[in-house]
Amino acid sequence: MKFTSAITGADAEVLNTARDAVVEIMGSPAVVTASIIAANFSMLDRIANAIGISLDGMMLKPSADIRELLGINNYPSAANTLER
Amino acid sequence: MALYSDSAHRPSAAIDALHSDEIQSFSRVGTWGSAAQRTAVVATARKIWVEAGLQQSSGDESLADSITLPAPVQRLIREVALGGISVDRTFCQQVQSEGVTEGAYVEIVSLVSRLSNLDVFARGLGVSPRPLAAPIEDTAPSFKRPAEASDEGFFTASVPNAPAGGALAESLYGNNQAGNVFRAVSLVPDEARRVIALIEQQYFPGAKVMDFEYDNGHALSRAQVEIVATKVSEHNQCFY
């Protein structure tokens, strides 16, 4: 979690420390996978927000509790689904 | 030489090859933007990240100044580069009313988002952003809008799943009923093909997204993968 937060943050030192911890505990391949997933969703989030896509219908009901719990319904992009 | 040969953490050959091709794609002519315009778009995004203190300089931000991009294009690049969090339908329409065509809007969103993919990955590995190339083609964009594109309720038109999307939909999505994110930038099919290829290599193939037992060679469990994805999406305030 610290590594993922650090990738999207601005502090290179924090990121380096978090990466070293991942290597020590989980190994170098985990750094690669965590980085590629973070990269992938950095791309997809921008596309989703800027194109205004709605959440796929089959995901709406199953995600209701987690969206409420995490405050996701308050994101500006929630309007692209909830107000449609 | 491998794109990430200087990294202590080496991705698969498939990722390396895909990302090498991605870097080259920015400096080639697109559907709505020339090679020079596309290069300036991605260099401008990189300049914004460097100025915001989000990443180190790779020394190629000067490519942003090789041509002058119109003000609405620069606003769009900035918004998307910083996550697209405050983009809404009104912003999209405003940018288009100032002369950015719908196709160009989609292409710019895709370019900046695809560069974000590469630069976040490099940051994760602990290497500098991979160098951008100078424009390598000087032909005119095709400005071809797919006849199959329609309003699916997004800010911009997209190619719907088959049968409505016809042969183009089948060529983009295969036999799958593709989720919205796979169709998002399909108004520019070449960009959609690239985004889909990245998703399928980096995350999971479209047909396997809901198969929680599927092994895509990741070094994290499916639950761990989803935690990373959720954390990043929380940062970008992405409802999707």
Flag if B116 and A79 touch (Cβ within 8 Å): no
The domain total for chain B is 1
CB A40 within 8 A of CB B117: yes
Whether A84 has a pLDDT exceeding 80, the answer reads: no
B195 domain residue, yes or no: no
B4 domain residue, yes or no: no
Flag if B179 and A56 touch (Cβ within 8 Å): yes
B213 domain residue, yes or no: no
Q: What is the DSSP string of A25-78?
A: HH-HHHHHHHHHHHHHHHHHHHHHHHHTPPPPHHHHTTTHHHHHHHTGGGSGGG
Between CA A39 and CA A4 the distance in angstroms is 10
DSSP character for B150? Answer: B
B166 domain residue, yes or no: no
Instruction: Give the count of Cβ contacts less than 8 A between chain A and B.
Output: 220
- The answer to whether B86 contacts chain A (CB < 8 Å) is yes
Q: Give the mutation candidate from B111, B158, B238 for the A interface (greatest A CB count, under 10 A).
A: B238
> pLDDT of A25-78, one tens digit each?
999 999 999 999 999 999 999 999 999 998 888 888 888 898 888 889 999 999
B146 domain residue, yes or no: no
CB B87 within 8 A of CB A52: yes
B85 domain residue, yes or no: yes
pLDDT at residue B134, as a whole number: 93
Whether A82 has a pLDDT exceeding 90, the answer reads: no
3-state class (DSSP) for residue A4? helix
pLDDT at residue A69, as a whole number: 87
What is the complex's ipTM, to 2 decimals? Answer: 0.96
> pLDDT of B10-53, one tens digit each?
999 999 999 999 999 999 999 999 999 999 999 999 999 999 99
pLDDT at residue A70, as a whole number: 85
- The answer to whether B57 contacts chain A (CB < 8 Å) is no
Flag if A10 and B124 touch (Cβ within 8 Å): no
Provide the whole-model pTM: 0.95
pLDDT at residue B211, as a whole number: 83
B81 domain residue, yes or no: yes
B239 domain residue, yes or no: no
For Cα atoms B8, B9, B14, give the angle at the middle one, nearest 5 degrees: 130
Burial class (CB in 10 A: 0-12, 13-18, 19+), B90: exposed
Between CA B86 and CA A33 the distance in angstroms is 29
User: Which residues lie across from B150 on neighbouring strands?
Assistant: B158
The residue type of B38 is R
Query: What string of pLDDT tens digits covers the 240 residues of chain B?
Result: 899 999 999 999 999 999 999 999 999 999 999 999 999 999 999 999 999 999 888 899 889 988 999 999 999 999 999 999 999 999 999 999 999 999 999 999 999 999 999 999 999 999 999 999 999 877 999 999 999 999 999 999 999 999 999 999 999 999 889 999 999 999 999 999 999 999 999 998 877 888 888 888 899 999 999 999 999 999 999 988
Domain that includes residue B114, residue range: 12-138
Q: Distance (Å) from the C-alpha of residue A57 to the closest C-alpha of chain B?
A: 9
- The answer to whether B186 contacts chain A (CB < 8 Å) is no
Flag if B114 and A1 touch (Cβ within 8 Å): no
For Cα atoms B175, A55, B182, give the angle at the middle one, nearest 5 degrees: 35
